A and B are shown apart, each in its own frame.
Chain A
Amino acid sequence: MTIFQVAYKNIVHQFSSSFLGALLSALGTTIFCLILLLSFQLNEQLTLNSKHIDLVIGAKGSPLQLILNSIYHVDYPTGNIPLEEALALTKSPLVKIAVPLSMGDNYQGYRIIGTDSSFFKLYGTTVAQGKWWSTDFEAVVGAEVAKEKHIRVGDKLVGAHGLTSSTDLHADHPYTVVGILEKNNSVADKLVLTDLSSVWHMHEEHHHHHEDESALSHDDDHDIHDLIALGNHGKEITSMLIQYKNPTAVAMFPRMVNQTTGMQAASPALESARLFSILGIGLDALKFLAVTLMLIAAISVFISLYNAFKSRKYELAIMRTMGAARLTLFGIMVIEGIYITVFGALAGIVLAHFIMYVISQVDNTEFITAWQFVKQEIWIVVAAVLLGFIAALLPAIKAYFTQISKILAEE
């Protein structure tokens, strides 16, 4: 028999009143833990995808939009930049790798990106099956695209105009899949890659068809029809990913681009930090809710222990007659409180990971790994211990100062 067993047996005995406290504690913990896991994994994912990219050069506009579009492939492009100008920048001795990106089409929701072989160097990915493209209208698809759409080498893909829609099909110019990329957990898994010139050729003709139409909407920056159009002065691309040769470029290169060219340079590190601070407000609200739930849990534990105390004071007095020291009773009460909140917290952590698992199964996203644990989860448990202790403190003090003789005489 130990003090822990006595406390445990009593909680089980009073299951119904202990349960509410544990449940509230579990809910609070679940929310808190989910926030922790999601923000941790989101951050990790953001970092992973921008790991080797020091700078993105694109058309003027929102730098965050440029980053989201060119690195994470989620937002719309800011516009086009002349290839010539972009290439001129890459001649700088500060640049190690420069990857041109040209976008505007999609294959069933997956973006078709025109680029060159430097893309594979930057993302450190290789072809798992098949080979690289060698001519126009040959494509290499990312591992996830291949898996989801059951694409094999040799299949033909019909791209659609725009980044998401599937209405305006390029049925006359299908791509032939010549290779499938090795899975590397980066955004490359979700892209269809082809040569820059394929995208240009596709739209040379396309542009022609819609000349009048595009002239009408000329001033609309976000008209996707204009984005990939060939400019009058030569070929255009959407953006260019830059990797520096050495860290000193951080200070000079972006300023040089922004001041001397008509293009803008955006830093992935700065922009993802900014994105996170925007998200942070929402996360803070959720954290507040979680903390509130944990506090209510503590109050519930307090009330149940305090109420139980009335019916238990006799038992506590009996335990004193059996030789229990005051401190032993204090300890039993405190441990009971801690047991309830900690049990709730542990259940909450398990539940949070289970929810992550469910999300990852439903969404089939690779970015959520359900059974990854973060250090802060230990702090949640520590916080639960503290809350349980505080909740049990008053009943425990009452137990400590129980007048045994008085209670026994009340028989």
Chain B
Amino acid sequence: MEALVIALDDVKFNYTDDVKLSFPRFTLRKGEHCLILGNSGSGKTTLIHMMCGLLRPSSGKVILNGVDIYGLSAKQLDHFRGQNIGLIFQQTHLIRSLTILENLQLARWLAGLKEDREELLLVLQRLKIADKATNYPHQLSQGQAQRAAIARALVNRPMFLIADEPTSSLDDHHAALVLDLLLDQSQNFGASLIIATHDKRVKDQIVNTYQL
């Protein structure tokens, strides 16, 4: 049991009185990756949001690395999320008014971590976008922006890298590239990768699956 870094026990979420979602037990061991599969509307995003402390479940517990995250105060939860979870979305959602480097700086500041310029540049180098550090998001190509978003998610060296439909809007070639990147970098930064998707192309790469 002590090796579990994620444990969702009997978690339920009620959208309305008629629409109630209940989720089977979900666990993840240290160093493992996991795929959350399911069709649109099956509750993948809801599960991920509950896992990240963004959405309080109607019942049940979410234990991340031994911490019952919904037992924390709102501020503690924000802090916990900033330090331990890196989130990636279908769209990149970089802050438009900030440069790529500043987006990374923002992530460190919001998580309450010391700004370490060398470290930030190193992260950008690993994702091969160091030359774009002073560019604004709109000046980047789709692929570069995707890399920047991954860099931002990893910059605090989180325990979990959680991606919600990261490949669904991409063609086969780019989907494969992004997936490789996510696997490589989560390995690189020692993070557990959790991908929620309905994209069948992702299946072959990750053994662990959780079907909704």
Contact = CB atoms under 8 A, between A and B. Distances in A.
Interface of A: 1-2, 5-6, 9-10, 12-14, 314-315, 318-328, 404-405, 408-409, 411
A319 B49 contact: no
Contacts of A325: 74-75, 78-79
Given A321-B54, A322-B110, A411 B90 contact: yes
Contacts of B78: 320, 323-326
Contacts of B79: 323, 325
A314 B93 CA distance: 8
Interface stretch (B18-26, B101-109, B125-133, B197-205): B101-109
B106 A404 contact: no
Contacts, number: 79
Interface in B96-130: 96-98, 102, 105-112, 115
A328 B74 CA distance: 12
Contacts of B54: 320-321, 404-405, 408
B93 A1 contact: no
A322 B97 contact: no
In the complex, which range does the number of interface residues on chain B fall in? 35 or more
Interface of B: 45-46, 49, 52, 54-55, 74-75, 78-79, 81-83, 85, 87, 89-91, 93, 95-98, 102, 105-112, 115, 152, 156
A318 B164 CA distance: 13
A159 B194 CA distance: 99
A2 B52 CA distance: 25
B91 A321 contact: no
Given A1-B115, A9-B97, A315-B95, A321 B106 contact: no
B96 to A, nearest CB: 6
Given A1-B106, A405-B55, A408-B49, A322 B82 contact: yes
Contacts of B105: 1
Contacts of B89: 408, 411
B111 A405 contact: no
Contacts of B55: 405
Contact of A318 (B49, B93, B102): B93
B106 A315 contact: no
Given A1-B109, A319-B106, A322-B106, A12 B74 contact: no
12 contacts: A1-B109, A9-B97, A314-B93, A315-B93, A321-B87, A322-B107, A323-B78, A323-B79, A323-B81, A323-B111, A327-B75, A404-B54
B112 A323 contact: yes
Contacts of A314: 93
A88 B75 CA distance: 86
Contacts of A324: 78, 82, 110
A326 B106 contact: no
Contacts of B102: 1, 5, 9
A321 B95 contact: no
Contact of B91 (A1, A326, A327, A411): A411
Nearest to B85: A321
Contact of A9 (B49, B90, B98): B98
A140 to B, nearest CB: 67
A318 B74 contact: no
Contact of B95 (A318, A326, A404): A318
A322 B111 contact: yes
A411 B91 CA distance: 8
Contacts of A328: 110
Contacts of A9: 97-98, 102
Nearest to B107: A322
Nearest to B45: A409
Nearest to A10: B97
B95 A319 contact: yes
Contacts of A315: 93, 95-96
B98 to A, nearest CB: 6
Closest 6 CB pairs of A and B: A323-B82, A13-B97, A405-B55, A1-B109, A1-B105, A323-B111
A409 B49 contact: yes
A108 B209 CA distance: 100
Contacts of B110: 319, 322-324, 328
